[in-house]
Structure 1
Amino acid sequence: MASKELRPTLGTGVPKTRKRNIQTKLDPDTFRTRLFEELEKHGISATIISPLSSDEFDYHRYGEVFCEVMLAGNIVEPGGAVRTNPPPTEHCVFAAKNSDAVLAVVDIMHQLMRRKPFLRARYDLVFTKLLSCLAVFEEVPRANLAVAIASMLERQMLSPVVLKSLSSQSAIASGIALDFMTAIITSFLEQNNQSIDKLMALLKSAGIDTGTMVNMMPSGSRSADALSEHFAALGLDKLVEQNERRVKADKIRTLRDGISERLERLGAVPIEEVVQFVKTTREETGLTETESVHAAWAGVVMSVNMSRKTQQNRTALLMATQKGAPLLEQVCASGAMQIVLIQQVQAYVSADMELLKIAVFCDVINLLYRKDVLVEEAILRWFRRGMRLEKGSAASSNIIREQMIPFVKWLETAEEESEEEGEAA
């Protein structure tokens, strides 16, 4: 058997193992000490920006420590305890004497973040930590923190989602959570005359609304009415209006869901029971006739699966309309409410370009007319007024009007014939 052939090898050099990344141990205390030195030397002033921007400060590793020191004066332990050895620096948000001093600290943090954008994520982490244990802090630090948050939200230094951390039982039970949120809102409005609409848009992007604020109230006084009274006492009328709109929308949504559930069981549930449910709910909630019509139409079409082909969607919509016609007839007893229903159908169809193209609006109105939900006068009045959508393009309204012309002409002819027959009689 032939011996294995030897392959040439490199005779020089010794194979070296690849060096691994050297992981240095975290040393937040040293970072904090250097930060303290710069704060003592420069204070909260523009001159501190340059030394803090140097490579000596590793914000990738100690960005959270930087934020904690600038806010609380020292490293913050889990649970909210601020280290006292060494004593916290006075050049921080918690120790600020007034709002201007707070904003000066925020300005330093902002300038550092502009140079190092990744700090925004570190800020979010620290604020989430502080807000989760808010009840630990004294009143003045809390007030200063609210001013800082308002300013940082306005400058987009902070994600609004961190405010969801105001959910600890201790903060809610003591009323601190709602008071703190109110302080943020008040401070936001005071700074640069900011708009309440801008603030609520920021909060809405994080899924926070007046309903979230109701849950921040102590359980013994937790209600939408109590929240409205709280805001009214502070002169925050726009928040009162928004809270009332949310409550109204919740009532309409509840009525809509109840209608949809009962219509799906129609047969086992008589239509009279559905009508009675609408009347009872309206009396209990104080909904107007218009709002009841909105809820009724939404409940009728709620079960329609609009993810299929266009013709299948058309058929499903007409079937749902036919099933709900007896209810719509009761809810839309007056001509004014029938026009409201027509506008709701118009908005629904206009939201789907495919349905708009194949004249589904005309089909639905025709069906409602044949089912005695709509009368000729209401349809003609809607058409002659040229009613357009409150939201949406004028083009969709014009398309619908063009599609309705043959049906309207037929109604006008029928109306003239009935008048002639009446005169002949």
Structure 2
Amino acid sequence: MVSFMNNQKQQKPTLSGQRFKTRKRDEKERFDPTQFQDCIIQGLTETGTDLEAVAKFLDASGAKLDYRRYAETLFDILVAGGMLAPGGTLADDMMRTDVCVFAAQEDLETMQAFAQVFNKLIRRYKYLEKGFEDEVKKLLLFLKGFSESERNKLAMLTGVLLANGTLNASILNSLYNENLVKEGVSAAFAVKLFKSWINEKDINAVAASLRKVSMDNRLMELFPANKQSVEHFTKYFTEAGLKELSEYVRNQQTIGARKELQKELQEQMSRGDPFKDIILYVKEEMKKNNIPEPVVIGIVWSSVMSTVEWNKKEELVAEQAIKHLKQYSPLLAAFTTQGQSELTLLLKIQEYCYDNIHFMKAFQKIVVLFYKAEVLSEEPILKWYKDAHVAKGKSVFLEQMKKFVEWLKNAEEESESEAEEVRSNGTQHGTQLKNGGNWIAGNPDSSWHSEQPQVQPSKPVILLLHYFCV
């Protein structure tokens, strides 16, 4: 009985047919872009083609109209004169305005003026920034639906907006659409765009913007796969008057090739591939990508130094370095056939020893090792010591090299003097260098015969024997 009464208490009466009134704050306004379009077009018609008046009208209308909700419609009108249907066409039964980008004159000055209208509007209503970027991405996908003149105007406007920072370079992703690329629309649009962009900013600023969105290495994708070559890109854009862009892409391609070379080089070294195979591969890449030897020696040096884990103790790392570099000397020597390459290597060694503090005392030992292995020769070393070194660790390294450089100068003079004496005498009894009264090379009792010439050690070896024995 008690249980039944409790159940009765829990039941609550309900009213049938009652209507609940929605609170005013929960009511949603009906989405009506057509009404919004009519308001904007009417206002633009009243302002006329005076873009200063247009900017003021848009600024004031933002307080009355819902720009946040109808951002796409707003930008469609300002660019194309009315709401765009899928594909980029204007509906015949919709209102249109001639106060828009597509109805304006096709010149850079006019597009710069329109860019100011967009710039002022977005600065005033910051929330429109994302909507505007989405609008431009959409417009780029609709390029085939526009006339050539409309595409040119949009390209110039986009270039100016990229230059002044209103747009982010990521919007260019839309140009990589397969159909646009295949029909050549993307490349033609890019010509006009980059011309106006570079006109506002230099190529370095353009490159920086592309780099920020990882697009600096993708420009060749504006062409179909069978035309994605540096040669085709540079020819196309140079003929269009964009030589600086062509050179930039060529440089980017070279940088990419160098990175790929270093990556492959390190892999070959870690596998322990024979030096002759590595040298052959590097020389092929040099020829293929037009990479000069002084650049290659820097890549080889970096690769050689990255293949080992160095000891953290300063007193041990020098010995470890000499042992390691002695092994790789033949590889390094293959790419120091020019004086500039040798000088580049010296600078790389200097910078490495400075940047890695445990190597500070190893600099002179490395240079002497490379001199002995005929990786380096006297002239570049003397040039480096005199005026070709960099500031990094200069005082320390010059002091380390002082005695070796003095010896090099003296040994060079003695070598030239002895050579002159041999020529004047017409007879060679061996090369005599001071070594506690001993002869370093040749036989003091033998005479020189043209039929059986004596095999002499190479100049660096003779000079080094002199250096270590004096």
Structure 1 length normalisation: TM-score?
0.80
For residues 47 and 171 of structure 2, the distance between their equivalents in structure 1, rounded to whole angstroms, comes to 31
Counting only pairs closer than 5 Å after superposition, residues 349-388 of structure 1 correspond to structure 2 as 352=355, 355=356, 358=357, 360=359, 362-364=361-363, 366-367=365-366, 369-371=368-370, 372=373, 373-375=375-377, 377-388=379-390
For the 8 Å contact 1:44–1:108, the answer to whether it is kept is: no
Matched, 1:166 2:175: yes
Q: Deviations over 1:335-371 (max 9, x none)?
A: 4322111122334455x4xx2xx26255255235325
Counting only pairs closer than 5 Å after superposition, residues 199-218 of structure 1 correspond to structure 2 as 199-209=206-216, 211-218=217-224
Aligned length: 389
Counting only pairs closer than 5 Å after superposition, residues 5-404 of structure 1 correspond to structure 2 as 22-45=27-50, 46-54=52-60, 55-99=63-107, 100-190=109-199, 194-209=201-216, 211-266=217-272, 269-303=273-307, 318=321, 321=325, 324-348=328-352, 352=355, 355=356, 358=357, 360=359, 362-364=361-363, 366-367=365-366, 369-371=368-370, 372=373, 373-375=375-377, 377-388=379-390, 394=391, 397=392, 400-404=393-397
For residues 140 and 302 of structure 1, the distance between their equivalents in structure 2, rounded to whole angstroms, comes to 55
For residues 80 and 349 of structure 1, the distance between their equivalents in structure 2, rounded to whole angstroms, comes to 61
AA aligned opposite 2:383:
R
For residues 112 and 57 of structure 1, the distance between their equivalents in structure 2, rounded to whole angstroms, comes to 14
For residues 20 and 159 of structure 1, the distance between their equivalents in structure 2, rounded to whole angstroms, comes to 37
State the 1:70 CA deviation: 0.7
Q: Which runs of 5+ in 1 are unaligned?
A: 1-16, 389-393
AA aligned opposite 2:433:
G
Q: Deviations over 1:166-205 (max 9, x none)?
A: 11111101111111111112223456xx433333333333
Q: Pick from 400, 403, 411: which aligns with 1:407?
A: 400
Question: Secondary structure in 2 aligned to 1:380?
Answer: helix
AA aligned opposite 2:182:
A
For the 8 Å contact 1:380–1:408, the answer to whether it is kept is: no
Q: Deviations over 1:79-124 (max 9, x none)?
A: 4344443043222112223324444433222221221122222211
Structure 2 length normalisation: TM-score?
0.73
| CA separation of 1:161 and 1:217: change in aligned 2, threshold 3 A | same
Q: Which runs of 5+ in 2 are unaligned?
A: 1-21, 415-431, 440-470
Report sequence identity in percent: 23
| CA separation of 1:359 and 1:246: change in aligned 2, threshold 3 A | same
| CA separation of 1:49 and 1:377: change in aligned 2, threshold 3 A | closer
For the 8 Å contact 2:136–2:171, the answer to whether it is kept is: yes
For the 8 Å contact 2:220–2:228, the answer to whether it is kept is: yes
- State which structure, 1 or 2, has the greater radius of gyration over its C-alpha atoms: 2
For residues 302 and 179 of structure 1, the distance between their equivalents in structure 2, rounded to whole angstroms, comes to 44
AA aligned opposite 1:215:
E
For the 8 Å contact 2:318–2:359, the answer to whether it is kept is: no
